[in-house]
Chains A and B, each alone.
Chain A
Amino acid sequence: MPPRLRKLALVAHVTSSVGWLGAVVAFLALAVIGTTSQDPATVRGVYLVMEPTAWYTLVPLAFAALLTGIVQSLGTPWGLFRHYWVLFKLLINVVATVVLLIYMGTFRSMAHRAADPEAELSSVRDFSPVLHSVLALVVLLLAMALAVYKPRGVTPFGQRKQGAQREGRSAPGAVSVPQT
Protein backbone atom coordinates (compact mmCIF):
# COMPACT_ATOMS: atom_id res chain seq x y z
CA MET A 1 0.00 0.00 0.00
CA PRO A 2 1.43 3.42 -0.92
CA PRO A 3 2.44 5.52 2.10
CA ARG A 4 -0.20 8.17 1.53
CA LEU A 5 -2.95 5.58 1.26
CA ARG A 6 -1.61 3.82 4.33
CA LYS A 7 -1.77 7.03 6.33
CA LEU A 8 -5.29 7.66 5.10
CA ALA A 9 -6.30 4.19 6.24
CA LEU A 10 -4.62 4.82 9.58
CA VAL A 11 -6.52 8.08 10.04
CA ALA A 12 -9.79 6.36 9.19
CA HIS A 13 -9.11 3.53 11.60
CA VAL A 14 -8.03 5.74 14.49
CA THR A 15 -10.99 8.05 13.94
CA SER A 16 -13.55 5.26 13.91
CA SER A 17 -11.95 3.41 16.82
CA VAL A 18 -11.66 6.45 19.08
CA GLY A 19 -15.10 7.56 17.94
CA TRP A 20 -16.49 4.20 19.00
CA LEU A 21 -14.81 4.60 22.37
CA GLY A 22 -16.26 8.07 22.77
CA ALA A 23 -19.74 6.88 21.85
CA VAL A 24 -19.52 4.18 24.52
CA VAL A 25 -18.53 6.82 27.09
CA ALA A 26 -21.58 8.86 26.09
CA PHE A 27 -23.77 5.78 26.46
CA LEU A 28 -22.32 5.15 29.89
CA ALA A 29 -23.31 8.66 30.88
CA LEU A 30 -26.84 8.07 29.55
CA ALA A 31 -27.05 4.77 31.40
CA VAL A 32 -26.00 6.37 34.68
CA ILE A 33 -28.54 9.14 34.20
CA GLY A 34 -31.20 6.53 33.54
CA THR A 35 -30.51 4.75 36.80
CA THR A 36 -30.04 7.82 39.00
CA SER A 37 -32.29 10.59 37.75
CA GLN A 38 -35.42 11.29 39.76
CA ASP A 39 -37.21 12.98 36.87
CA PRO A 40 -39.55 10.45 35.22
CA ALA A 41 -39.41 12.22 31.87
CA THR A 42 -35.62 12.13 31.89
CA VAL A 43 -35.50 8.46 32.80
CA ARG A 44 -37.95 7.48 30.07
CA GLY A 45 -36.21 9.76 27.59
CA VAL A 46 -32.86 8.10 28.22
CA TYR A 47 -34.13 4.63 27.34
CA LEU A 48 -36.14 5.91 24.40
CA VAL A 49 -33.14 7.58 22.83
CA MET A 50 -30.65 4.78 23.40
CA GLU A 51 -31.83 2.50 20.62
CA PRO A 52 -31.85 5.00 17.73
CA THR A 53 -28.63 6.57 18.94
CA ALA A 54 -26.96 3.18 19.02
CA TRP A 55 -28.05 2.46 15.46
CA TYR A 56 -26.68 5.80 14.26
CA THR A 57 -23.44 5.84 16.24
CA LEU A 58 -22.32 2.60 17.89
CA VAL A 59 -23.13 0.20 15.06
CA PRO A 60 -21.64 2.28 12.20
CA LEU A 61 -18.52 3.08 14.21
CA ALA A 62 -18.06 -0.57 15.17
CA PHE A 63 -18.21 -1.70 11.56
CA ALA A 64 -16.03 1.20 10.42
CA ALA A 65 -13.37 0.30 12.97
CA LEU A 66 -13.51 -3.32 11.88
CA LEU A 67 -13.31 -2.66 8.15
CA THR A 68 -10.65 0.05 8.34
CA GLY A 69 -8.60 -2.11 10.66
CA ILE A 70 -8.70 -5.01 8.22
CA VAL A 71 -7.83 -2.80 5.26
CA GLN A 72 -5.00 -1.15 7.10
CA SER A 73 -3.48 -4.35 8.45
CA LEU A 74 -3.54 -6.02 5.06
CA GLY A 75 -1.76 -3.02 3.56
CA THR A 76 1.15 -3.05 5.99
CA PRO A 77 3.87 -5.60 6.78
CA TRP A 78 2.08 -6.33 10.07
CA GLY A 79 -0.58 -8.27 8.20
CA LEU A 80 -3.83 -9.50 9.68
CA PHE A 81 -2.79 -12.90 11.01
CA ARG A 82 0.98 -12.61 11.37
CA HIS A 83 1.20 -10.97 14.79
CA TYR A 84 -0.79 -11.89 17.86
CA TRP A 85 -1.53 -8.31 18.86
CA VAL A 86 -3.22 -7.67 15.49
CA LEU A 87 -5.10 -10.97 15.74
CA PHE A 88 -6.33 -10.13 19.22
CA LYS A 89 -7.49 -6.71 18.13
CA LEU A 90 -9.42 -8.33 15.31
CA LEU A 91 -11.04 -10.82 17.68
CA ILE A 92 -11.90 -8.11 20.18
CA ASN A 93 -13.50 -6.02 17.45
CA VAL A 94 -15.50 -8.91 15.99
CA VAL A 95 -16.76 -10.14 19.37
CA ALA A 96 -17.63 -6.63 20.54
CA THR A 97 -19.52 -5.95 17.31
CA VAL A 98 -21.48 -9.18 17.54
CA VAL A 99 -22.37 -8.54 21.18
CA LEU A 100 -23.45 -5.01 20.26
CA LEU A 101 -25.74 -6.27 17.52
CA ILE A 102 -27.29 -8.78 19.92
CA TYR A 103 -27.70 -6.06 22.53
CA MET A 104 -29.74 -3.94 20.14
CA GLY A 105 -32.65 -6.19 21.09
CA THR A 106 -32.22 -5.16 24.69
CA PHE A 107 -32.23 -1.50 23.69
CA ARG A 108 -35.50 -2.15 21.89
CA SER A 109 -37.02 -3.85 24.94
CA MET A 110 -36.01 -1.01 27.22
CA ALA A 111 -37.45 1.53 24.79
CA HIS A 112 -40.76 -0.34 24.71
CA ARG A 113 -40.89 -0.35 28.50
CA ALA A 114 -40.06 3.33 28.64
CA ALA A 115 -42.74 4.15 26.11
CA ASP A 116 -45.41 2.34 28.13
CA PRO A 117 -47.12 5.02 30.24
CA GLU A 118 -48.43 2.34 32.60
CA ALA A 119 -44.97 0.97 33.38
CA GLU A 120 -43.63 2.06 36.74
CA LEU A 121 -40.39 3.98 36.82
CA SER A 122 -38.65 1.27 38.80
CA SER A 123 -39.35 -1.20 36.01
CA VAL A 124 -38.14 1.23 33.36
CA ARG A 125 -34.78 1.74 35.04
CA ASP A 126 -32.22 -0.84 33.99
CA PHE A 127 -28.68 -1.35 35.22
CA SER A 128 -27.78 -3.47 32.20
CA PRO A 129 -26.61 -0.55 29.99
CA VAL A 130 -24.31 0.62 32.76
CA LEU A 131 -22.72 -2.80 33.07
CA HIS A 132 -22.41 -3.36 29.34
CA SER A 133 -21.00 0.13 28.75
CA VAL A 134 -18.30 -0.43 31.36
CA LEU A 135 -17.41 -3.80 29.87
CA ALA A 136 -17.30 -2.28 26.40
CA LEU A 137 -15.00 0.47 27.65
CA VAL A 138 -12.62 -2.06 29.17
CA VAL A 139 -12.52 -4.10 25.98
CA LEU A 140 -11.97 -1.11 23.70
CA LEU A 141 -9.26 0.31 25.95
CA LEU A 142 -7.57 -3.07 25.86
CA ALA A 143 -7.63 -2.97 22.07
CA MET A 144 -6.16 0.53 22.15
CA ALA A 145 -3.38 -0.59 24.48
CA LEU A 146 -2.55 -3.47 22.14
CA ALA A 147 -2.33 -1.04 19.23
CA VAL A 148 0.08 1.25 21.06
CA TYR A 149 2.29 -1.26 22.86
CA LYS A 150 2.26 -3.92 20.11
CA PRO A 151 3.49 -6.75 22.36
CA ARG A 152 5.76 -9.19 20.65
CA GLY A 153 4.50 -12.51 19.38
CA VAL A 154 4.42 -13.92 15.87
CA THR A 155 1.81 -16.46 14.89
CA PRO A 156 2.81 -19.72 13.17
CA PHE A 157 1.44 -18.24 9.95
CA GLY A 158 3.57 -15.15 10.46
CA GLN A 159 6.65 -17.26 11.15
CA ARG A 160 6.12 -19.14 7.90
CA LYS A 161 5.79 -15.86 6.03
CA GLN A 162 8.93 -14.48 7.61
CA GLY A 163 10.80 -17.66 6.80
CA ALA A 164 9.70 -17.49 3.19
CA GLN A 165 10.79 -13.86 2.99
CA ARG A 166 14.19 -14.65 4.50
CA GLU A 167 14.68 -17.52 2.03
CA GLY A 168 13.78 -15.20 -0.80
CA ARG A 169 16.29 -12.60 0.35
CA SER A 170 19.12 -15.08 0.89
CA ALA A 171 18.63 -16.93 -2.41
CA PRO A 172 21.50 -16.46 -4.90
CA GLY A 173 20.82 -13.52 -7.14
CA ALA A 174 17.95 -12.33 -5.04
CA VAL A 175 17.27 -8.62 -5.17
CA SER A 176 16.31 -7.03 -1.89
CA VAL A 177 13.33 -4.71 -2.06
CA PRO A 178 13.36 -1.84 0.46
CA GLN A 179 10.52 -1.87 2.89
CA THR A 180 8.15 1.08 2.50
Chain B
Amino acid sequence: MVDPSQEPATRKTADGTSGSATRAGVPRWVKAGFVALVVVLLFVIMHLVAGPGGHGPGSHFGGQAPPVGVSAPDGPSTGGIG
Protein backbone atom coordinates (compact mmCIF):
# COMPACT_ATOMS: atom_id res chain seq x y z
CA MET B 1 0.00 0.00 0.00
CA VAL B 2 1.17 3.50 -0.67
CA ASP B 3 0.89 6.23 1.93
CA PRO B 4 0.59 9.58 0.16
CA SER B 5 2.11 11.29 3.19
CA GLN B 6 5.39 9.50 2.52
CA GLU B 7 5.60 10.00 -1.22
CA PRO B 8 9.11 10.25 -2.64
CA ALA B 9 8.70 13.94 -3.39
CA THR B 10 8.60 14.73 0.33
CA ARG B 11 11.69 12.71 1.23
CA LYS B 12 14.45 15.18 0.47
CA THR B 13 18.01 15.49 1.65
CA ALA B 14 19.49 18.77 2.90
CA ASP B 15 20.48 19.85 -0.58
CA GLY B 16 16.94 19.33 -1.82
CA THR B 17 17.58 16.18 -3.86
CA SER B 18 15.94 12.89 -3.21
CA GLY B 19 18.14 10.82 -0.94
CA SER B 20 17.28 7.59 -2.66
CA ALA B 21 18.19 8.94 -6.07
CA THR B 22 21.65 10.06 -5.01
CA ARG B 23 22.64 6.58 -3.79
CA ALA B 24 24.52 4.56 -6.35
CA GLY B 25 24.21 0.81 -6.76
CA VAL B 26 21.62 -1.66 -5.63
CA PRO B 27 20.86 -1.69 -1.87
CA ARG B 28 21.91 -4.76 0.02
CA TRP B 29 18.37 -5.66 1.00
CA VAL B 30 17.37 -5.73 -2.68
CA LYS B 31 20.16 -8.16 -3.54
CA ALA B 32 19.20 -10.39 -0.63
CA GLY B 33 15.56 -10.15 -1.63
CA PHE B 34 16.22 -11.17 -5.21
CA VAL B 35 18.29 -14.13 -4.08
CA ALA B 36 15.51 -15.20 -1.73
CA LEU B 37 12.95 -14.80 -4.50
CA VAL B 38 14.98 -16.92 -6.90
CA VAL B 39 15.38 -19.61 -4.25
CA VAL B 40 11.65 -19.61 -3.59
CA LEU B 41 10.84 -19.81 -7.30
CA LEU B 42 13.29 -22.67 -7.77
CA PHE B 43 11.75 -24.46 -4.81
CA VAL B 44 8.25 -24.01 -6.22
CA ILE B 45 9.33 -25.28 -9.64
CA MET B 46 11.11 -28.28 -8.14
CA HIS B 47 8.09 -28.93 -5.95
CA LEU B 48 5.87 -29.03 -9.02
CA VAL B 49 8.04 -31.25 -11.22
CA ALA B 50 9.38 -33.64 -8.55
CA GLY B 51 9.42 -37.21 -9.71
CA PRO B 52 7.60 -40.27 -8.32
CA GLY B 53 7.85 -40.65 -4.60
CA GLY B 54 7.57 -36.95 -4.00
CA HIS B 55 5.15 -34.71 -5.77
CA GLY B 56 4.38 -35.70 -9.33
CA PRO B 57 3.67 -33.18 -12.08
CA GLY B 58 -0.01 -33.38 -11.33
CA SER B 59 0.23 -33.25 -7.56
CA HIS B 60 -1.10 -29.73 -7.39
CA PHE B 61 -3.34 -30.04 -10.39
CA GLY B 62 -5.13 -33.10 -9.06
CA GLY B 63 -8.84 -33.51 -9.19
CA GLN B 64 -9.06 -37.25 -9.56
CA ALA B 65 -11.14 -38.89 -6.89
CA PRO B 66 -9.55 -42.00 -5.36
CA PRO B 67 -11.14 -45.30 -6.39
CA VAL B 68 -13.82 -46.44 -4.01
CA GLY B 69 -12.52 -49.09 -1.64
CA VAL B 70 -8.89 -48.04 -2.01
CA SER B 71 -7.47 -46.02 0.85
CA ALA B 72 -4.23 -44.09 0.84
CA PRO B 73 -1.33 -45.20 3.05
CA ASP B 74 -1.37 -44.11 6.65
CA GLY B 75 0.21 -40.82 7.54
CA PRO B 76 -0.41 -37.35 6.19
CA SER B 77 0.50 -36.75 2.61
CA THR B 78 2.53 -33.74 1.72
CA GLY B 79 0.34 -32.07 -0.78
CA GLY B 80 -2.05 -34.23 -2.67
CA ILE B 81 -1.84 -37.02 -5.13
CA GLY B 82 1.77 -37.87 -5.86
Contacts and interface: CB of A to CB of B under 8 A. Distances in A.
Interface of A: 3, 6-7, 10, 13-14, 17, 35, 69, 72-73, 76-78, 82-84, 86, 88, 91, 95, 99, 102-103, 105-106, 108-110, 112-113, 115-116, 118-120, 122-123, 125-128, 147, 150-154, 158-159, 162, 166, 179
A53 B64 CA distance: 20
6 contacts: A77-B7, A91-B37, A106-B80, A112-B65, A112-B66, A118-B69
Q: Is the interface of B mostly helix, strand, loop or mixed?
A: loop
Contact of B48 (A69, A91, A102): A102
Interface of B: 1-4, 6-10, 17-21, 23, 26-27, 29-30, 33, 37, 40-41, 44, 48, 58-66, 68-81
Contact of B77 (A6, A126, A179): A126
A102 B60 CA distance: 6
Rank and list the top 3 A-B pairs by shortest CB-CB distance, nearest first: A123-B72, A109-B62, A112-B65
B78 A122 contact: no
B7 A78 contact: yes
Contacts of B44: 95, 99
A13 B6 contact: no
A49 B9 CA distance: 48
Contacts of A152: 19-20, 23, 27
